[in-house]
Structure 1
């Protein structure tokens, strides 16, 4: 079976898809490791960045500070890259990587040195290195305390005997503070109960501590990356829309040239011929005028068909369901149409247009190439997306390839954040599935 899919590409630098749900004990290990490793990393990052930053700023007046500041930014970028590699495990979803400014390869040495200083993301990396300790130290202390109390309490029965509890001691044991007798049994029970309480709270405490650190890092290290990825996606969507419109315009020009234009040339010649014959051969002139009238009707019908391919009035006036019903009625191949939209419901114009052109082009391709005896069109709206499915029982073999009609449809859907999937094994059947965002 041949299956081709045209999907939205991930922004550059994005990791793989989201991770599945973890067991609590594995998540506890991930969160604890993140906090424990983050503590020394935050100290090293702070010391290096603050030292090089101070020296670089202090010596900037004699130009020695310029390369030191650039080195500071590179150090901060290295720690930022390490942090971006660590936080997806905690957040359980991928994070984008920002695109740093790059100087022109032909630029001077000074320009290449100065270019990182003009990049806002570099300074956000520095800010992260300087401020991260404010969260890393408290998180480390809290998680260490919870682990220590939980482990000490749960293992109290193994070590309580080794501590000398004398009657002449000036200190009170915890059972005595609670009004209980200071016996080994009471001490073990109280310590174990406290350890059990802290153990039950430990996964939540570790999770909150790790999330606070990870979300802080994500805010500073990936915020601009998300904006850059969104801008890139919109730019790609715009390019896809322009490409789809260009293909449609070239096809319209070709259809006009091959159809109505040729008929109009023939019509002009017939009218001139009738004009010459009107005095010498009235019967021949009337016959020529009758042929011209027939040619005029056929040309008008062809122009109406072409105009329906541009933007049918019924789509704007009565909505998607009525427009699809008109397309199905005109199709040479019988069409079973099922539109699961409430009566009178209107969708966004871009969504309606894209869905209409998908069905119109798909039915036109079925009539031209598939040798199908029946086609089925299904339109449903579910989970905030419009799903359009066109299926036929033809010979199959349709593929998404550059320059083909299906590639133009994929571009048209991509322009509105949609996805086109083609399932067309040799011998059929062929299924086209378009999914469009429909809030």
Structure 2
């Protein structure tokens, strides 16, 4: 109920203030547009039109603030292109004429006028009838005692007298009161929808383009970081082992003739080194995309990952669905990197890993009882995870105060 009342109050305020704003907006913009078009052939109309567009921009900014109050969340403001560098005074003066959003502001300032009238009239009518009907017992006895006054029930032939008038008017008032939460927000939604379409649609599209651009840049950065890390791991691990293995085999080859027993020992060491290299290569490949993930899905892959962690892991996977490969790979990568960081840096005795689906998002939560201090600043391991999640429109939340505990939450869209 409180939310319904807040919604009704916000809609009422929006409708009642809409007309006082629409009247000067309509008058100034129509006058400016007419004067500008009438004198545009003499070049005087260009600065008049530019000034009119600036006035429209001011009214549009007021409307965007009203939309934010109505919806309860910020409304994007489009970027108005500045004049070119080094532009002259006249070019700077007429710069508003070159922006499409400025003309949309002007269009809104003009066509919103009839919608504001309708919204204002409907809102005032509904509130007036509702209040007057419910309060009729307070003032109705005065009206009933006026000579020659006939109530609506009497005029309609339903009945006459104070009681009939009271019942009839309170019934109408109750009907209008019950329909207030539907009618007033409904007419407000039409006016607000028009404003959103003209005043914030371009801005929302610009924000989406920026998000996609940032996501692409984050994906490139994450991929480049992963490749550099893989190259470093291969160089420092398997590559060095293979170089050492080649030297050992060359030594065994030289020993075969003069010291077969020593050659046999060298070959045994080489076989051991080969097995260690294979194990290291398997570990590296698991960090990329293990076969169990592509064959059986996230639940078994995360279970295998938890089983290999040197810190005990309490696993809680509440979804066994299969998801797109990019989603599964991202969730697995975040889990693998987080568990690796816990094993290396947290000094934790226990960690938890849970995976749940809520709506169209997968939520991966990883916590530990270690020393804390983890953050997503550039140059730290978690920054790469944040970039990888941004590449798929996901988010990373890290809570890790000094002294612990640490909680890492990753949300990945999966719908």
The TM-score normalised by the length of structure 2 is 0.86
Contact 1:156 1:188 in 2 (8 A): no
Tell me by how many angstroms 1:255 deviates: 1.2
Mean Cα displacement is larger for which, 305-314 or 99-108?
99-108
Shift in alpha-carbon separation, 1:331–1:184, aligned structure 2, 3 A: closer
What is residue 103 of structure 1 aligned with on the other side? 83
Contact 1:91 1:214 in 2 (8 A): no
Q: Once the two structures are superposed, what CA deviation does each residue of 1:304-351 show, in whole Å capped at 9, x if it has no partner?
A: 221221221221122112222322333233333332223xx3112122
Contact 2:309 2:343 in 1 (8 A): yes
What is residue 148 of structure 2 aligned with on the other side? 165
Aligned-partner Cα distance in 2 for 1:366–1:411: 19
What is residue 201 of structure 2 aligned with on the other side? 223
* 3-state SS of paired residue (1:386): strand
Mean Cα displacement is larger for which, 199-208 or 330-339?
199-208
Contact 1:52 1:69 in 2 (8 A): yes
Mean Cα displacement is larger for which, 34-43 or 203-212?
203-212
* 3-state SS of paired residue (1:125): helix
Aligned-partner Cα distance in 2 for 1:209–1:387: 38
Shift in alpha-carbon separation, 1:159–1:68, aligned structure 2, 3 A: farther
- Written as runs of structure 1 = structure 2, the 5 A alignment for 1:192-207 is 194=172, 197-207=175-185
Pairing partner for 1:308 from 263, 280, 286? 286
Contact 1:418 1:436 in 2 (8 A): yes
What is residue 209 of structure 1 aligned with on the other side? 187
Aligned-partner Cα distance in 1 for 2:367–2:174: 61
Shift in alpha-carbon separation, 1:111–1:241, aligned structure 2, 3 A: farther
Aligned-partner Cα distance in 1 for 2:84–2:349: 59
Gaps of 5+ in 1: 1-19, 167-171
Aligned-partner Cα distance in 1 for 2:297–2:176: 61
Q: How many residues are treated as equivalent by the alignment?
A: 412
What is residue 49 of structure 2 aligned with on the other side? 69
Tell me by how many angstroms 1:422 deviates: 2.8
Shift in alpha-carbon separation, 1:432–1:204, aligned structure 2, 3 A: closer
The TM-score normalised by the length of structure 1 is 0.82
Gaps of 5+ in 2: none
Mean Cα displacement is larger for which, 369-378 or 186-195?
186-195
What is residue 397 of structure 2 aligned with on the other side? 421
Q: Once the two structures are superposed, what CA deviation does each residue of 1:31-51 show, in whole Å capped at 9, x if it has no partner?
A: 333223211321211111122
* 3-state SS of paired residue (1:213): helix
Contact 1:424 1:430 in 2 (8 A): yes
Aligned-partner Cα distance in 1 for 2:299–2:178: 57
What is residue 119 of structure 2 aligned with on the other side? 139
Tell me by how many angstroms 1:181 deviates: 7.5
Aligned-partner Cα distance in 1 for 2:304–2:178: 64
What is residue 46 of structure 1 aligned with on the other side? 26
What is residue 234 of structure 1 aligned with on the other side? 212
- Written as runs of structure 1 = structure 2, the 5 A alignment for 1:13-412 is 21-22=2-3, 24=5, 27-109=7-89, 111-113=91-93, 115-150=95-130, 154=136, 156-157=139-140, 160=143, 165=148, 174-179=152-157, 194=172, 197-342=175-320, 345-412=321-388
